[in-house]
Structure 1
Amino acid sequence: MQAAASAADNARNQEVADLLVGAVDLHCHSGPAAMPRILDHHEAMMDCAAARFRALVYKDHFYLGTPHALLLEKLFPDTGVQLFSGIALNNASGGINPHAVDHAAKIGAKIVWMPTLSADNHIKQIAGQAKTFPKTAQKMLDPIPLSALDANGKLTDATKQVLDLIAEADIILAGGHLPASELLIVFEEAGRRGVRKMIVNHPTYIVGATDDDIRELVKLGVYMEHSICMFVEGRAKKYGPDKLAHLIAVAGVDRTLLCSDLGLVGSPRPVDGYREIVKTLLDLQMPAADIRKLISSNAAALLDLDAAPAPSAVN
């Protein structure tokens, strides 16, 4: 019986490994960073290479990571992992700053996150989570609250200019930590201005999107990006498998992304998080083709990787 169980475990692990070939993580919090991280950008890249991921996107709340990605890809050209990053429009980048977005796009950024830690909504939401929400290693200046809307509830001119720049560059607009009520306005206008690639980050956390909000956003062509960290063991876990299955059903497999949002202290390394979430999806009887969409091909399309063949699994 023990041998049979071991064989079954080995078979399941191989199935998971095969499904991870070609995976794409759009949301990796490796370091260096103001917040403590359990791995750096190089280590994250090498973990992805060992698992034969196709691409990795570094996300930092305070700086544009594109130069790091470009240099690491040049220094380690044989990993098989394409590296990307982008800019989060927090105070450190000048807020919702068209000049920062223009520069980021011109040097190859693939994604622009609307305000995260500096979002007015984020500041209000974490007021009651001061003891649990991750902190920077050193005390930083208090954030200046940011919104995409003016005092009259209309999109600011700076936000509109940012949307135009994103559309021109044909890169990804991510909602950051703006509330669902703002995101509906932002993404509707983004679509009108020609933005084709849109993501809501962890819609059920801080953003506060209801099922109806998710359905409305999906109608606008927006993808729902659920953070693996919230479904796997670790300090950020919030939900069980049933919640994951429900959220995938609400948006649909074709409009859902599973990205790690890992690197934080007290949680697994990003690739280990992917291993755990794939096991969960298999336990939920999710077809392999759907799993590949959730962890690979949907994100690959947003990064324009469709034309590049994914590596084949080794049996």
Structure 2
Amino acid sequence: MTEAAINDPVEQRVDALLQGAIDPHVHSGPSIAERGIDHLQLAIEASKAGFAAVVTKDHDYSGVMTAALIARHHPELRTKVYSSIVLNNVVGGFNPYAVEHMAAMGGKVVWMPTLAAENHLRWEKTAGWVHPASTQKIRPAAGIPVLDGNKAVRDEVKEVLDIVARNDIALASGHLHISETWLVFEEARRRGVKRLVLTHPEDIVDASMNDVSGIAAMGAFVEHSLCMFLEGSKFKTCEEEDLRKHIDAAGVGQTILCSDLGQTGVFSPIEGFRRGIKLCMKLGYSDEEIRKMVSLNAARALGIEADLPAPSPT
């Protein structure tokens, strides 16, 4: 129990809900962009808070090797560290070898392009934002298409979808436009992918509430970045009530909350989860509903239910 929770029932509830929590989208470092926390620090802090697992995400590399080192040399940590791969330029876009390697090393998520998504590059021009490393350290991102001229999913994308299906790992939509996500997810389902995650529909991807409810109805999980809803976050683009609308559109059972944090100049991923849980309380969600959104649903999406702690005896 944290010191703050000793005499504060709200903090006690938050501490309890963090037991077994999973953050499936964390930007810890090292990274070509500045990060406020590295993978090992994240694992240590998450373990102290009681997290069951975290999934590290870097726009330019898969962190599966680091995750393996942490597991080997820090068996005392209760938080399991998993990683993922984002299909941007640095890994060669839709590179089946890179995806197979990540899966073979225990990676859990394949992300469609983010900084190299054609939709992201269009969005950048209107948002006035560029990834800090893109111009300072490496050449600007080049767009990686997912559809051909006939609006059909490209063959190289299908090959990656087959690898995802074969390894029963999660496919996340990244920064694709929602119209592209629909087509990719439908193709993924046809090819046997069972674990689908829509990435932050609240920003960049241009999703409507109908998209959110429809994607959830097809069995996909809808993942929300808490940093986009929380006061004091430099990434805040939405109001608190917007989170309620999104959750209600997909349903609690298909909603996942992640921090999407780890950058400099903002609170830590663990603090982001604490604030996110408090926001859910403020919005009127029960502890049972919150636990689904911060733990149980992510475990289902990632296939790591066995990593969750045993329920406390009642």
Structure 1 length normalisation: TM-score? 0.94
Correspondence for 1:136: 133
Correspondence for 2:48: 50
Offset at 1:191? Answer: 0.6
Q: Tell me, what secondary structure is at the counterpart of 1:307?
A: helix
The separation in 2 between residues aligned to 1:265 and 1:133, in whole angstroms, is 16
Offset at 1:134? Answer: 4.3
Q: Tell me, what secondary structure is at the counterpart of 1:224?
A: strand
AA of the residue aligned to 1:22: G
Aligned partners of 2:53 and 2:307 also within 8 Å: no
Correspondence for 2:287: 288
Is the counterpart of residue 240 in structure 1 residue 233 in structure 2? Answer: no
Instruction: Give unmatched runs, 5+ long, in structure 1.
Output: 1-5
Relative to structure 1, the CA distance from residue 313 to residue 18 in structure 2 (aligned partners, 3 Å threshold; closer, same or farther) is farther
Offset at 1:12? Answer: 1.0
The separation in 2 between residues aligned to 1:8 and 1:52, in whole angstroms, is 17
Correspondence for 1:151: 149
Report % sequence identity.
40
AA of the residue aligned to 1:239: C
AA of the residue aligned to 1:237: K
- Equivalent residue pairs, number: 308
Aligned partners of 1:21 and 1:311 also within 8 Å: no
Aligned partners of 1:52 and 1:311 also within 8 Å: no
Aligned partners of 2:32 and 2:137 also within 8 Å: no
Correspondence for 1:185: 183
Runs of 4+ in 1 over 6 A off after TM superposition: 6-9
Residue 101 of structure 2: which of 100, 103, 107 is its match?
A: 103
Which deviates more from structure 2 when the two are superposed, residues 95-104 or residues 10-19?
95-104
Backbone CA RMSD of aligned residues: 1.8
The separation in 1 between residues aligned to 2:177 and 2:308, in whole angstroms, is 37
Aligned partners of 2:26 and 2:262 also within 8 Å: yes
Correspondence for 1:114: 112
Which deviates more from structure 2 when the two are superposed, residues 297-306 or residues 12-21?
297-306
Aligned partners of 1:230 and 1:237 also within 8 Å: yes
Correspondence for 1:176: 174
Instruction: Give unmatched runs, 5+ long, in structure 2.
Output: none
Q: Tell me, what secondary structure is at the counterpart of 2:41?
A: helix
Is the counterpart of residue 209 in structure 1 residue 207 in structure 2? Answer: yes
AA of the residue aligned to 1:186: V
The equivalences for 1:297-308 within 5 A come to 297-308=296-307
The separation in 1 between residues aligned to 2:46 and 2:211, in whole angstroms, is 33
Offset at 1:303? Answer: 2.3
Offset at 1:9? Answer: 6.4
Please list the CA deviations of residues 199-253 of structure 1 after superposition, one character each: whole Å capped at 9, or x if unmatched. 0110121111101111221122111100011111210011222111111000000
Correspondence for 2:22: 24
Relative to structure 1, the CA distance from residue 10 to residue 194 in structure 2 (aligned partners, 3 Å threshold; closer, same or farther) is same
Which deviates more from structure 2 when the two are superposed, residues 81-90 or residues 231-240?
231-240
Structure 2 length normalisation: TM-score? 0.94
Aligned partners of 1:198 and 1:221 also within 8 Å: yes
Residue 162 of structure 2: which of 164, 172, 184 is its match?
A: 164
